[in-house]
């Protein structure tokens, strides 16, 4: 400022504005003194103006700190307080899918020997090509007072609205966060990946079949040891394998306990192991079979409340379901070792999951009947699944557990082609052979827990695909999936014989799954 | 039910094992919302208190500081700034927090010695080396051609002390004629080219930007300018009359309770009265209230005839209402 003023004064002198008196009366000391005073006065005035400018800028900066912040970008739309402690965000994901089946049978739930139409020799319809909205999920999430938050995500796909996520958070510290409400299960690795971030059109058997999807309850989680170890524990209502609990009340009083540890010990290193993470998760519950039923309802209602799952193929066709007389009765224990690895454009996820499920058979009607579970039918069944999935970004972006940000957005005018990613996965699920036999293990035809003529014992899927990320928000995915089955159809739609020898394998499924997605 | 209880117990045990630091709560943080010129004082004091608290309790205490014009700072606390303690320039601003936000009782000033003022100060005049405008006393500040630097009394506690000191001088010179005092202060503010929002801003204006002939300054701020920039650039002029400034402190009870910092906040302010606290205040040119340390540092402070606000203005509530509230005398005399 001092320097600027000197230049200013020099300029005044040089310009002649104040040079004439000097020239005219160079020896007049009083005029020189007057001139000096004038320059000093001007100096002060310039400094005052400059200082007032500074003060105004400081005031503007202070005002800005109190001005609410409105954001609109690839992560959604938000507005919040200037200090960031209070915020509301609007986000969403919309997925428009098309499924084309070149081979494959339709859902076993539609299997009927008496159904009109062209059935194959085993009583199956061909799987039907279809276009559908897979996910239509607007999200409102926010935080108040810095530490407390919420998320509400309804689902409008599938013909009816439901709440996918509806929970509140208390992020008391990075090491201690509480979440209560309907939320993702904490145990599965691929499940924790966002629906808009998954690498394949559908998740693997580990995630979709064995491990729980969403549940109601309370979880505590946090990051420890410089964020190299993430833990989570929870008490939830408990859901079927792959299940997404309703927001209604619990019908079985037993809670399910969940836990997971996931370590990323090298995350801050510069080594190739920086992107390695591994962990283990599990769930435990003990259902009382009779409480698992709706005594006041109809048998149809009971069928939806038997506490047991059905499993679907990569093409989302149900290939396994329990018999209607089966119900969960006893312990259900799941465990799932898991790992992920990311290095440059390469990514890998691998998971294994096993569920040990105690089951029994119903004696008959459940309405107003004192004893509904057949004695000596309780059995522990063990099903397992695993997957290994790899991805590679051929356009050079870094792979991550979250989404992909293209180096260049797709733009015909500017020549950008977005990000391109190749993906491949092998996933299989194997059901306990005892599922299809009676308690004694002597018959495949009577008092079994599932019908081998309808349901398969295993499914093995190869999936390959390409993801085209047009930008951070838009993605087109194309998967080709081949699934082979073991069992799942009776020869000539006849009943399975006691020895289980008149079984043929369900027709292999070849499906092309396409998706156009916008997520923000 | 029993299993649920068992599970909760297990969760607690697991969590307790994995996050011991939370259970033990060894790290404590408090926020001290203060007025403008106390930055350096509390930097030193906070270090001393942290060491004291560590030795006493084993806990690590971290004190965050927030500084600004006292009026602005009080407004920020009223609006939700989560101060655990406030250490402001004058009692009125702390009264305002109690009255408007009800974060602590009205009788807060009785909770600590000396009306909760662990140190005092006064107002002096800082001039440029050689005192080119020959400023000796308050009446030199109303002369034509004298440029005076003082902050805005609407936002700065220090500025209110400045204003009242000038007013008190004018009353004395004019046999308590309020009209003449008002005219005197009006002339004084007509010589003020820039109104900063706080005392530190005015220091910047006068010392760093080179604006003005005289800076009406907190005594400690004037000494700091001499210490930082050297006695070859500025001189302190002690007026014939000034005002006893009593910057008070208090715990913001409801905030501290919410943060679980009641004990440490109380101890923090009490430590200002300790030997070490008083010594640090003296080192930073605040006048200690403990006679032992007042004597120790007496030689560094000039002898000034100090009036008290209660004696001349009937206390802060009355002074605020008369002079600084909307439509008060300051609004009447100061043309923006």
Q: Which residue has the higher pLDDT, A94 or B15?
A: A94
B123-244+305-333 to CATH, choices 3.40.190.10, 3.40.640.10, 3.40.50.300, 3.30.565.10: 3.40.190.10
Determine contact: A4 vs chain B, CB below 8 A: no
Mean pLDDT over A334-350 rounds to 97
At residue B236, φ and ψ (nearest 5 deg) are -100, 130
pLDDT of residue B18: 42
Determine contact: A482 vs chain B, CB below 8 A: no
Q: pLDDT tens-digit profile of B284-304?
A: 999 999 999 999 999 999 888
Taking the CA of residue B290 and the nearest CA in chain A, the distance in Å comes to 38
Most A-contacting residue of B2, B11, B152 (CB-CB within 10 A), to test interface = B11
Is the pLDDT reported for residue A436 higher than 70? Answer: yes
Report which of A302, A319, A285 is spatially closest to residue A209, judged by C-alpha positions. A319
Q: Is there a contact between A486 and A458 (Cβ–Cβ < 8 Å)? A: yes
Is the pLDDT reported for residue A55 higher than 90? Answer: no
Q: Is there a contact between A152 and A141 (Cβ–Cβ < 8 Å)? A: yes
pLDDT over 70, % of chain B: 92
Mean pLDDT over B235-261 rounds to 94
Taking the CA of residue B205 and the nearest CA in chain A, the distance in Å comes to 7
A230 contacts in chain B (CB < 8 Å):
none
pLDDT of residue B152: 93
Is the pLDDT reported for residue A492 higher than 80? Answer: no
At residue A120, φ and ψ (nearest 5 deg) are -85, -175
Where in chain B are all domains bearing CATH 3.40.190.10? 25-120+246-300, 123-244+305-333
pLDDT of residue B143: 95
- In whole angstroms, what is the distance from residue A127 CA to residue A318 CA? 10
Q: Is the dihedral of CA A192, A276, A274, A147 positive or negative?
A: positive
Tell me whether residue B276 is exposed, middle or buried, using C-beta atoms within 10 angstroms of its C-beta: 0 to 12, 13 to 18, 19 or more: middle
Mean pLDDT of all residues belonging to chain B? 89
Determine contact: A178 vs chain B, CB below 8 A: no
Nearest by CB: A235 against B4, B19, B209: B4
Backbone torsion region of residue A168, taken as left when φ is above 0, otherwise alpha when ψ lies between -120 and 50, otherwise beta: beta
Which residues pair with residue A347 across a beta bridge? A342, A391
| DSSP notation for A128-147 | PPEEEEEEEEEEEEEEETTT
Which residues pair with residue A244 across a beta bridge? A214
ipTM of the complex: 0.71
Q: Which residue has the higher pLDDT, A306 or A134?
A: A134
Q: Is the dihedral of CA A60, A66, A70, A73 positive or negative?
A: positive
Q: Which residue of B has its CA nearest to A51?
A: B205
Cβ of A1 and B194 within 8 Å?
no
- In whole angstroms, what is the distance from residue B224 CA to residue B211 CA? 18
Residue A168, Cα to own-chain centre: how many angstroms?
17
Mean pLDDT over A239-247 rounds to 79
A224 contacts in chain B (CB < 8 Å):
18-19
- Interface A–B counts its CB contacts (< 8 A) at 58
pLDDT of residue A110: 55
Q: Is there a contact between A96 and A474 (Cβ–Cβ < 8 Å)? A: no
B151 contacts in chain A (CB < 8 Å):
none
B211 contacts in chain A (CB < 8 Å):
44, 47-48, 51
Mean pLDDT over A14-29 rounds to 52
Other C-beta atoms closer than 10 Å to the C-beta of A116 total 6
Q: Is A410 helix (H, G, I), strand (E, B) or coil?
A: coil
Is the pLDDT reported for residue A284 higher than 90? Answer: yes
Q: Is there a contact between A170 and A150 (Cβ–Cβ < 8 Å)? A: no
Q: Is there a contact between A482 and A461 (Cβ–Cβ < 8 Å)? A: yes
pLDDT of residue B202: 92
Determine contact: A30 vs chain B, CB below 8 A: no
Tokens of B296: 């120790």
Report which of A302, A353, A38 is spatially closest to residue A191, judged by C-alpha positions. A353
Cβ of B19 and A2 within 8 Å?
no
Strands A503-505 vs B27-35: parallel, antiparallel or unpaired: unpaired
Using 50, 70 and 90 to split pLDDT, how confident is the model at A70? confident
Tell me, letter by letter, the H, E, C secondary structure of chain B: CHHHHHHHHHHHHHHHHHCHHHHHCCEEEEEEEEEHHHHHHHHHHHHHHHHHHHHHHCCEEEEEEEEECHHHHHHHHHCCCCCCEEECCCHHHHHHHHHHHCCCCCCHHHCCHHHHCCEEECEEEEEECCCCCCCCCHHHHHCCCCCEECCCCCCCHHHHHHHHHHHHHHHHHCCCCHHHHHHHHHHHHHCCCCCCCCHHHHHHHHHHCCCCCEEEEEHHHHHHHHHHHCCCCEEEECCCCEECECCCEEECHHHHHHHCCHHHHHHHHHHCCCHHHHHHHHHCCCEECCHHHHHHCHHHCCCCCEECHHHHHCCHHHHHHHHHCCCCHHHHHCCC
Report which of A350, A429, A347, A357 is spatially closest to residue A390, judged by C-alpha positions. A347
Cβ of B147 and A255 within 8 Å?
no
Is the pLDDT reported for residue B273 higher than 60? Answer: yes
Taking the CA of residue B108 and the nearest CA in chain A, the distance in Å comes to 27
Tokens of A269: 């290193």
Interacting residues of A486 by C-beta distance below 8 A, sequence separation 6+:
A456, A457, A458, A459, A505
Q: Which residue has the higher pLDDT, A10 or A129?
A: A129
Q: Is there a contact between B91 and B250 (Cβ–Cβ < 8 Å)? A: no
A233 contacts in chain B (CB < 8 Å):
11, 14-15
A1 contacts in chain B (CB < 8 Å):
209-210
Is the pLDDT reported for residue A369 higher than 70? Answer: no
Q: Is there a contact between A223 and A230 (Cβ–Cβ < 8 Å)? A: yes
Cβ of A233 and B14 within 8 Å?
yes
Using 50, 70 and 90 to split pLDDT, how confident is the model at A142? very high
Q: pLDDT tens-digit profile of A162-204?
A: 899 999 999 999 999 999 999 999 999 999 999 999 999 999 9
pLDDT of residue A8: 46
Other C-beta atoms closer than 10 Å to the C-beta of A364 total 11
pLDDT of residue B199: 84
Is the pLDDT reported for residue B237 higher than 60? Answer: yes
Cβ of A59 and B193 within 8 Å?
no
Cβ of B193 and A176 within 8 Å?
no
B25-120+246-300 to CATH, choices 3.40.50.300, 1.10.3720.10, 1.10.10.10, 3.40.190.10: 3.40.190.10
Q: Is there a contact between A519 and A473 (Cβ–Cβ < 8 Å)? A: yes
Q: Is there a contact between B149 and B156 (Cβ–Cβ < 8 Å)? A: no
Using 50, 70 and 90 to split pLDDT, how confident is the model at A265? very high
Determine contact: A233 vs chain B, CB below 8 A: yes
Nearest by CB: B210 against A47, A231, A259: A47
Residue B292, Cα to own-chain centre: how many angstroms?
23
Cβ of A175 and B21 within 8 Å?
yes
Interacting residues of B195 by C-beta distance below 8 A, sequence separation 6+:
B150, B151, B152
- In whole angstroms, what is the distance from residue A48 CA to residue A54 CA? 10
Nearest by CB: B18 against A52, A231, A235: A231
Q: pLDDT tens-digit profile of B11-52?
A: 444 444 444 344 455 789 999 999 988 999 999 999 999 999
Interacting residues of A197 by C-beta distance below 8 A, sequence separation 6+:
A401, A402, A403
- In whole angstroms, what is the distance from residue B196 CA to residue B101 CA? 26
B2 contacts in chain A (CB < 8 Å):
none
Which helix (H) or strand (E) segment holds residue A387: the answer is strand A379-393
Interacting residues of A270 by C-beta distance below 8 A, sequence separation 6+:
none
Q: Is A262 helix (H, G, I), strand (E, B) or coil?
A: strand
Q: Is there a contact between B219 and B123 (Cβ–Cβ < 8 Å)? A: yes
Cβ of B209 and A224 within 8 Å?
no
Interacting residues of B335 by C-beta distance below 8 A, sequence separation 6+:
B190
A15-18 long-range contacts, Cβ below 8 Å, gap at least 24? none
pLDDT of residue A9: 46
- In whole angstroms, what is the distance from residue B78 CA to residue B94 CA? 10
């Amino acid at each position: 400022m001092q320097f600027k003023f000197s230049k200013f004064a020099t300029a005044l002198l040089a310009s002649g504005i104040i040079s004439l008196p000097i020239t005219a009366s160079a020896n007049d000391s009083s005029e020189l003194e007057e001139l000096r005073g004038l320059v000093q006065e001007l100096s002060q005035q310039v400094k005052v103006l400059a200082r007032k400018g500074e003060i105004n800028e400081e005031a503007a900066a202070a005002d800005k700190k109190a001005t609410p912040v409105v954001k609109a970008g690839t992560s959604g739309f938000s507005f919040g307080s200037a200090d960031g402690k209070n915020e509301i965000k609007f986000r969403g994901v919309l997925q428009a899918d098309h499924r084309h089946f070149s081979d494959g049978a339709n859902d076993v739930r539609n299997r009927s020997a008496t159904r009109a139409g062209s059935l194959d020799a085993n009583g199956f319809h061909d799987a039907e090509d279809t276009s559908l909205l897979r996910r239509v999920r607007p999200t409102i999430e926010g935080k108040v007072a810095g530490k407390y938050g919420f998320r509400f995500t309804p689902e409008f796909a599938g013909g009816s609205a439901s709440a996918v996520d509806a929970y509140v958070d208390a992020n008391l510290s990075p090491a201690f966060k509480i979440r209560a409400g309907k939320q993702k299960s904490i145990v599965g690795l691929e499940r924790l990946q966002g629906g808009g971030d998954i690498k394949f059109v559908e998740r693997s058997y580990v995630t979709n079949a064995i491990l729980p999807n969403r549940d109601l309850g309370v979880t505590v989680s946090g990051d420890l040891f410089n964020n190299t170890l993430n833990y989570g524990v929870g008490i939830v209502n408990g859901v079927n394998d792959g299940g997404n609990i309703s927001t209604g009340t619990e019908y079985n009083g037993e809670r399910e306990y969940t836990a997971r540890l996931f370590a990323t010990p090298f995350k801050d290193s510069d080594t190739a192991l920086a992107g390695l993470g591994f962990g283990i998760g599990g769930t435990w519950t003990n259902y009382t079979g009779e409480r698992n039923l709706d005594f006041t309802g109809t048998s149809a209602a009971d069928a939806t409340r038997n506490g047991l799952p059905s499993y679907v193929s990569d093409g989302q066709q149900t290939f396994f379901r329990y018999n209607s007389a089966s119900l969960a009765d006893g312990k259900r224990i799941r465990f799932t070792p898991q790992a992920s690895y990311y290095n440059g454009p390469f990514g890998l996820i691998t998971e294994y999951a096993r569920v040990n499920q105690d089951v029994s058979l119903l004696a008959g009607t459940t309405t107003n009947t004192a004893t509904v579970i057949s004695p000596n039918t309780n059995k522990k069944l063990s099903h397992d699944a695993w997957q290994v999935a790899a991805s590679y970004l051929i356009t050079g972006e870094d792979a991550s557990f979250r989404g992909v940000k293209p180096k260049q957005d797709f733009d015909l005018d500017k020549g950008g082609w977005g990000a391109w990613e190749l993906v491949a996965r092998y996933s299989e699920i194997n059901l306990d052979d005892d599922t299809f036999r009676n308690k004694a293990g002597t018959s495949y035809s009577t008092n079994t827990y599932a019908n081998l003529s309808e349901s398969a014992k295993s499914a093995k899927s190869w999936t390959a695909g390409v993801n085209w990320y047009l930008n951070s928000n838009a993605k087109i995915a194309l998967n080709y999936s081949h699934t082979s089955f073991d069992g799942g159809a009776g020869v000539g739609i006849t009943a399975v014989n006691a020895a289980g020898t008149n079984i043929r394998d369900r027709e292999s499924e070849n499906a092309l799954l396409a998706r156009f997605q916008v997520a923000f | 039910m029993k299993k649920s209880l068992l599970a909760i117990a297990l969760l607690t045990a697991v969590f307790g094992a994995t996050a011991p630091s939370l259970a033990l709560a060894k790290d404590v943080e408090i926020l001290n919302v203060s007025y403008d010129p106390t930055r350096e004082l509390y930097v030193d004091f906070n270090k001393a208190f942290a060491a004291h608290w560590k030795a006493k309790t084993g806990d690590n205490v971290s004190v965050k500081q927030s500084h600004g014009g006292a009026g602005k700072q009080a407004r920020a606390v009223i609006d939700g700034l989560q101060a655990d303690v406030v250490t402001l320039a004058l009692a009125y601003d702390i009264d305002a927090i109690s009255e408007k936000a009800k974060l602590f009782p009205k009788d807060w000033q009785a909770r600590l010695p000396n009306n909760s003022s662990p140190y005092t100060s006064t107002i002096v005049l800082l001039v440029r080396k050689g005192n080119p405008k020959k400023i000796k006393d308050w009446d030199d500040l109303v002369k034509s051609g004298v440029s005076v630097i003082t902050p805005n009394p609407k936002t700065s506690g220090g500025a209110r002390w400045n204003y009242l000191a000038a007013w008190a001088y004018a009353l004395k010179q004019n046999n308590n004629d309020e009209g003449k005092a008002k005219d005197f202060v009006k002339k004084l503010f007509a010589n003020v080219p820039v109104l900063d929002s706080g005392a530190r801003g005015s220091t910047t204006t006068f010392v760093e930007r080179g604006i003005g002939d005289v800076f009406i300054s907190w005594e400690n701020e004037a000494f700091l300018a001499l210490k930082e920039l050297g006695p070859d650039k500025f001189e302190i002029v002690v007026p014939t009359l000034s005002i006893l400034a009593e910057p008070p402190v208090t715990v913001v009870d409801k905030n501290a309770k919410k943060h679980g910092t009641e004990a440490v906040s109380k101890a923090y302010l009490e430590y200002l009265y300790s030997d070490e606290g008083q010594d640090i205040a003296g080192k930073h040119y605040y006048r200690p209230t403990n006679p032992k340390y007042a004597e120790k540092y007496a030689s560094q402070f000039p002898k000034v005839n100090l009036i008290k606000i209660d004696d001349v203005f009937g206390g802060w509530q009355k002074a605020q209402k008369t002079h600084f509230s909307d439509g008060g005398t300051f609004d009447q005399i100061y043309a923006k």
